[in-house]
Amino acid sequence: MNISTSTTATTTSKNQSQIEQALQNNAAGVLMNSVTKKYGSFTAVEDLTLEIPAGYYCCLLGPSGCGKTTALRMIAGHEEVTSGDIFIGGRKVNQIPAAKRSTSMMFQSYALFPHKTIWENIEFGLKMQKVREAERRTRVGEMLDLVGLSHLGDRKPDQLSGGQRQRIALARSLVTRPQVLMLDEPLSALDENLRVRMRTELRKIQKQFGMTFIQVTHHVEEAFSLSDQIVVMTHGKIDQVASPEELFDTPASQFVAKFMGDNNIFQGKVINCVQDSDLDLIQLEVEGLGTIFCRGHGVVIGTEAACSIRPDLMFVEPYSPDLPAKSSLAANQISARITAVEMTGYVTRVCLMAESTGQELLYKVRTEDWRSNSLHEGQLVVLSWSKDNCIFLAY
């Protein structure tokens, strides 16, 4: 891998600009307008409307079965839409076959042709487009250089490692100079370390060429690290479209909040709402825990709702009987018992259980900081957090 990365840096410099030029300014945006896909009585994607700007790295994120792959395959032209329209670069493509959409797809299993050499695999798309032999040779060579695997042109796919196959699949998709590249779980077949490295590389190539990447993944960290735009999907619908930062800071729903990771969520009834600066201050009555303060808007008093607090934005202190209950309006606090402590590296995960309700909670802290306190498993503690970090979730 190191070898190949350095190869990329050195040998490709001379023709790098050529390829980039060929590929750049060639990105197209994608628009899905009320797209629905049904398989018999089962609705895989329901009334999906989504705009992906040209040159964006967009991740479709969600649990398996949420419709993200179906959405991707419809854009690529491998599935027909049941209703609605798809536009690529402003052109309606509903009736246009996959090969003519100026898109290219990288499959989850890479779908390299096992009976063809690496060279032939990459060359395949050009051959199908009836590109002349000489040009084919140049372009395949460039692509192999780009992914740093020029020396493997004669091998067959089964003689390659997972990471190498992934690069070849990428090269094969890029060689036809698509406007939109679609990637279906491109990293899921790789082990953890390789996944992180390839992630970086994918992002680099996307930036280099500036083309639109649409990637399907169920891996939150991957989506965060790669995307300009994340589309969180569940049950065939979009829950939230946002940048990674937005998504991290202000999940729009309980589902997103949960899916984003380890956010602590409290469900209750809205009992009060006070206008305050740009976000309202909301009081949520949580059974067994009393009132919890959070920030948000669009609130109807009396409805069932929830709020979310990130596990790293909480504070933990040892419980003492003389600690005043509900010291101030500014802070939420509850008593909980530590049930487990997991040191995962830089971060330590502390599992807790609310004393009054038994709800499981999570607190994350830098391992260094955790070491400096004297808390331990089984100890009763007080968890507190600021109302400003606590996000109101309407649904």
Rg from Cα positions in the chain: 25
Closest CA to 268 of 298, 301, 240, 296: 301
Choose one: 96-104, 140-148, 239-247, 262-270; the region binding another protein (CB under 8 A).
96-104
CA dist., res. 79 & res. 134, Å (int) = 34
Distance, in Å, from the CA atom of 62 to the CA atom of 240, rounded to the nearest integer, reads 11
User: Which residue's CB is nearer to another protein, number 68 or number 310?
Assistant: 68
Kindly state the number of chain residues that form the binding site for another protein, as judged by CB under 8 A: 23
Sketch the per residue contact string, 128 through 167, with another protein: x for CB under 8 A, - otherwise. xx--------------------------------------
Contact mark string toward another protein, 175..194, x via CB under 8 A = -x------------------
CB burial string 362-374: b at 16+ within 10 A, e below: bbbbeeeebeeee
Window of 12-20, 83-91, 99-107, 250-258 that interacts with another protein by CB under 8 A = 99-107
Region of 12-20, 35-43, 62-70, 124-132 interacting with another protein (CB under 8 A): 124-132
Nearest alpha carbon to residue 391 among 287, 272, 289, 247: 247
Q: Which stretch binds another protein (CB under 8 A): 22-30, 106-114, 259-267, 360-368?
A: 106-114
Contact call for residue 125 and another protein (CB under 8 A): yes
Let me know: does 361 contact 350? Beta carbons within 8 Å.
no
Q: Which of 44, 48, 76, 273 binds another protein (CB under 8 A)?
A: 76
Cβ–Cβ under 8 Å, residues 259 and 232: yes
Burial environment of residue 3 by CB neighbours within 10 A (0 to 12, 13 to 18, 19 or more): exposed
Kindly list the residues in this chain that would bind another protein in the complex (CB under 8 A): 76-78, 97-100, 103-105, 107-109, 111, 113-115, 124-125, 128-129, 172, 176
